[in-house]
Structure 1
Amino acid sequence: MPLQRPPRDTRLDLLRGWLQLQIFASHAHGSFIGAWLISAAWGFSDSSEQFLFLSGFALGSLFVLKQDRGGFAAALRDLLPRIARLQMTHLIVFCGFGALVIATEMALRTPGQAAAMGWSWLLTEPWLALPAAATLLYQPAYMGILPVFIWCMLALPLLIRGMDRLGAWAMLPAAALYAAVQLRGWHLPGLGGTEVEFNPLAWQILFVLGVWFGRRALLRGRAIGRHPALLAAAAAVLGLGLWVRLVGHGLVAGPALDLQAIMGKQDLALPRVLHALALAYVVVALVPPRAMALPGRLLPALAATGRNSLNVFCVGLFFSYAVAALFRAFPAAAPWLDLPLVAAGSLGLMALAAVAERRRAKPAAVPR
C-alpha cells in the first residue's frame, strides 16, 4: 500500500511563524525586544536550531514519500530543483543585502561599517567575491544560515539511502563528524576574510536527526511516543538552560560560567543540541498534532508566516538591518523606537505572508 501524505499540522505552521518573528527581532541588533523577549534569551538554543531540525523533518518525510510513489530517481528530481532555487535565493539575498549595507553606510555616514561586517571584498574585488559567494564559503554578516540548509539538502539523498539500508546506523557518520568538530575543532575555511558562521560539519547533526524522525513519522505514523522519563529529562534540560541564563544575566546567584563554552553557536555546542531537542520533544509530547481552525486574524497570519518561512526570513533580514541601522543612527531614541519598529516589522512580515497565501490560492486564469 503506498504511503499517504499526512494532514497539515497547524501547530507546526504556528511554531514556524513564531520562530520567524523571533529571528527578525533577534537580528534587529540593539532591540530590547530582540535581546530579552525571545526564547533564545532564556535557554541554550534559539530559533535556528529548530528551523534546521524541522527542515530535516519535512524534507526527509517528503523525500521518502516521493521515493515510495515514483522511486529514488523521482525523489531526486523533486529535490534538486529545490536546492537550485534555494541556491539562487541565497545569491539574490546576498547581492541585495550587500547593496543595502553599502547604501546604509553612505546614507548614514558610518564609514567602515560594511567592512566590519565582511562586505569589503565585494566592494574591492566583486569579480572574485561573487563566485566565492556561490561556493557558500564567503559569508559576510547575516549570510550564514542559508548555506547550511543547502549543504544539508545536498546530503539528503545519500542519507535516506543509508537509512533505508542500515536504519539508525546510517546516522553514525553524522555523529562522528559532529564529535570531530567538538573534539578536534574541524571547520570549513571562510573566504574573503569571513568565517563560516554556522559550521555545517556540526550543524548537520540537527538536520540528520530531523530526517530520521520525519522518515519515521511517515513510515510509522508517529515520530516518537510520549514517555514520562523522556518528558522529565526534557524538562530538566530546559530548566538547566533557564538557570544558566538567569545566572548569566545576573538575575540569580550562581557560579561564574563560560557561556561561550556552554552555548557556542558557530560549532553548535552539545547543550544547544540537547536544549533544541528537549524543546521540540516537549511541544510534540504536550500538544497533539491536528489541523485547527484558527480564529481571528492574528493566528491565521502567524500560520501563514510559518508556511512561507523562506520568503519571510529573507525579507526579515532586510527589515531587521534597517531597524538596527536606525537604532545606531538615533541611539537616544532607540528605547522609544524599539516597540513601534519591531511591531511594524513583524506585522509587515505577516502581511507579506498573507499576500503570498492569497496569490497561491488564486485560481489560474483559463486561457481562451
Structure 2
Amino acid sequence: MTQGRDLRIDFFRGLALIFIFWDHVPHNPLAHFTVRNFGFSDAAEIFVFLAGYAAVLAYGKIARRDGWLVATVKILRRAWVLYVVHIFLLAMLMGIVFFANSHVETRDLVQEMGLHYFLSNPQQALVDELLLRFKPNLMDPLPLYILLLLGLPLVLPMLLRKAEYVVGLSVVLYMLAPWFQWNLAATDGGVWFFNPMAWQLLFILGGAAAIHGQRPLVPDARTLPRQPLFVAAAAYLLIAGLIALSWKWPTVHDAFMPRMLGEWLYPISKTNLSPARLLHFLALAYVIAKLLPNSGWTQNWLARQSCRMGRYSLEVFCLGVLLAPLADMLNALADDALAMQIFSALLGAGLMAVLAAWLDWNKRLNRPAHVAAA
C-alpha cells in the first residue's frame, strides 16, 4: 500500500519561501531564525530539492499514464511559463528598486541589488535577460529552476525505471563540475551564482525521493536512537549547528576550530553546492522526515497556511521577490528601525499567505460543479 499526498512537502516549500524572503531583507531581525543560522545549508537547498520532488511526482504520473511525449510537452509548456514570468518579474523588480532608491538617501539600493549593469549597458542587459544571463539579487533561483526543468525530460524515463542510475550519473556530474570549473556564463564575465551543473544533484535527489515515496512502506521496528543513520545525521547537524553559531563570535570560532577541520571545510561554496552544504541538507531532511511523520500536525491553522503557500510556490515566490526591496525601503525610512523591521517582515509573510489563500479560493471558485461535488 502506498502513501497518499505528503503534506509535509507543501509545508516546507511554504516555509522555505518565507525564509527566502526574510533572508533577503537587509537587517531583518527575523532572518536570525532561518535555517541558514543553524548549519551550512539554507532555504535554497530546500527550494531546489522540493522542486525536484514536486516535478517528478507530477510529471512522472503523467508519463506513466499518457506517455513520455505528453509529459515532455507539459514540462516544456511549464518551463515556457516560468521563462515569461522571469522576464516580467525582472522588469517589475527593476521598477520597484528604482522607486525605492529614489526614497532612500543613505544607501544605493540599485547597486546593492545588482542592477547597475542595466544602467550602464541597457541594450546588452536586455539581451542577457532573454538569455538568462542577467540575474540581479533575488532572481537566481528562477533561472536555475527553468534550466533544471528543461533537462527533466532527458532523465525522466530512466528516473522512473532505475532511479539509482540517474542519481549515480548526477553525482559524477556534481563532482566533475567544480574540478573542471563547469558553469554557465553570466554578465560582466561572471558565472551563474547557482551552478546548475552542481545544483542539479539536489533536483535529481528530490525526484528520486518522490519515486521512493510512492513505494510500499517497510516499517522499521528499531527506535530512532538505535538507528545508526539517524544518529549519524543528528550528530552532524549538531556539529554543523555549533560551528555556524560560532561564526557570530569570530574569536570563539578561531579558538575552538581545529585547523585541519577548517582547511577541509572552508570555503563553503554555495555556487558549487559544497559537500558540507549538501550533507547538511540531506541530514536535515532525513532527521525531519523521521521526527515529523505525515500525520495530523499539518492540519493546524499555521501549518495549513504554509501548505497553501507551498502549493502556489511560483506566485508566492514572485511576490516575495517584489516585497523584499519594498520592505528594505520601509525599514530605511522608519524612525523606530527595529519595530519597522519586525513589522515589515511579518507583513510580507502575511501578504504572501494572503496571496496563496486568494489563489486557492479562486481555484475552487472556478472548479467545475461536478468536480467540486466529488
**TM-score (structure 2 length as normaliser):** 0.86
Q: Describe the SS at the equivalent of 1:211.
A: helix
Correspondences of 1:319-338 after superposition (within 5 Å): 319-330=323-334, 333-338=336-341
Correspondences of 1:40-119 after superposition (within 5 Å): 40-109=36-105, 112-119=108-115
Tell me the distance in 2 between the aligned counterparts of 1:224 and 1:92.
48
Tell me what 1:229 maps to.
Answer: 228
Tell me what 2:201 maps to.
Answer: 205
Tell me what 1:340 maps to.
Answer: 343
Q: Describe the SS at the equivalent of 2:102.
A: helix
Tell me what 1:305 maps to.
Answer: 309
The percent of aligned pairs where both chains have the same amino acid is 27
Tell me the distance in 1 between the aligned counterparts of 2:350 and 2:360.
15
1:365 deviates by 8.2
Task: Pick closer, same or farther for the CA change 1:364–1:210 going to 2, 3 Å.
Answer: closer
- Per-residue CA deviations over 1:229-252 (Å, capped at 9, x if unaligned) read 221121122112101112212267
Q: Residue 104 of structure 2 contacts residue 332 of structure 2 at CA under 8 Å; is this kept in 1?
A: no
1:167 deviates by 4.2
The residue type paired with residue 245 of structure 2 is L
Larger mean CA deviation between 301-310 and 271-280 belongs to: 301-310
Task: Pick closer, same or farther for the CA change 1:194–1:103 going to 2, 3 Å.
Answer: farther
Which residue, out of 7, 10, 17, partners 2:7? 10
- Per-residue CA deviations over 1:319-346 (Å, capped at 9, x if unaligned) read 122122333445x632222211111111
Structure 1 gaps of 5+ residues are: none
Tell me the distance in 2 between the aligned counterparts of 1:126 and 1:222.
55
Task: Pick closer, same or farther for the CA change 1:103–1:113 going to 2, 3 Å.
Answer: same
1:112 deviates by 4.9
The residue type paired with residue 321 of structure 1 is P
Tell me the distance in 1 between the aligned counterparts of 2:272 and 2:58.
28
Q: Describe the SS at the equivalent of 2:187.
A: coil
Correspondences of 1:14-33 after superposition (within 5 Å): 14-33=11-30
Q: RMSD of the TM alignment (CA)?
A: 2.8
Q: Describe the SS at the equivalent of 2:243.
A: helix
Task: Pick closer, same or farther for the CA change 1:224–1:209 going to 2, 3 Å.
Answer: farther
Q: Residue 183 of structure 2 contacts residue 191 of structure 2 at CA under 8 Å; is this kept in 1?
A: no
1:291 deviates by 6.6
Larger mean CA deviation between 319-328 and 250-259 belongs to: 250-259
Which residue, out of 277, 280, 299, partners 1:275? 280
Q: Describe the SS at the equivalent of 2:266.
A: helix
Q: Residue 197 of structure 1 contacts residue 266 of structure 1 at CA under 8 Å; is this kept in 2?
A: yes
Residue 349 (structure 1) aligned with residue 352 (structure 2): yes
Tell me the distance in 2 between the aligned counterparts of 1:208 and 1:305.
23
Q: Residue 61 of structure 1 contacts residue 217 of structure 1 at CA under 8 Å; is this kept in 2?
A: no
Tell me the distance in 2 between the aligned counterparts of 1:236 and 1:262.
21
Tell me what 1:162 maps to.
Answer: 158
Tell me the distance in 2 between the aligned counterparts of 1:39 and 1:17.
14
Tell me the distance in 1 between the aligned counterparts of 2:320 and 2:286.
27
Tell me what 1:238 maps to.
Answer: 237
Tell me the distance in 2 between the aligned counterparts of 1:265 and 1:170.
23
The residue type paired with residue 21 of structure 1 is I
The residue type paired with residue 154 of structure 2 is L
The residue type paired with residue 286 of structure 1 is L
1:16 deviates by 1.8
- Per-residue CA deviations over 1:43-85 (Å, capped at 9, x if unaligned) read 1111110111111112112222111111111211221111111
- Per-residue CA deviations over 1:247-279 (Å, capped at 9, x if unaligned) read 212267622757982532122111111111111
- Per-residue CA deviations over 1:81-116 (Å, capped at 9, x if unaligned) read 111111111111111101111222223246854245
1:293 deviates by 7.0
Q: Describe the SS at the equivalent of 1:94.
A: helix
Q: Residue 9 of structure 1 contacts residue 291 of structure 1 at CA under 8 Å; is this kept in 2?
A: no
Q: Residue 17 of structure 1 contacts residue 309 of structure 1 at CA under 8 Å; is this kept in 2?
A: yes
Tell me the distance in 2 between the aligned counterparts of 1:267 and 1:224.
36
Q: Residue 12 of structure 2 contacts residue 46 of structure 2 at CA under 8 Å; is this kept in 1?
A: no
- Per-residue CA deviations over 1:259-318 (Å, capped at 9, x if unaligned) read 9825321221111111111111112222222476724x4333222112111111111112
Tell me what 2:372 maps to.
Answer: none
Structure 2 gaps of 5+ residues are: 370-374
Q: Residue 331 of structure 2 contacts residue 344 of structure 2 at CA under 8 Å; is this kept in 1?
A: no
Q: Describe the SS at the equivalent of 1:139.
A: coil
Task: Pick closer, same or farther for the CA change 1:165–1:221 going to 2, 3 Å.
Answer: closer
Larger mean CA deviation between 254-263 and 315-324 belongs to: 254-263
Which residue, out of 269, 284, 290, partners 1:285? 290
Tell me what 1:265 maps to.
Answer: 270
Tell me the distance in 2 between the aligned counterparts of 1:198 and 1:329.
32
Task: Pick closer, same or farther for the CA change 1:111–1:321 going to 2, 3 Å.
Answer: closer
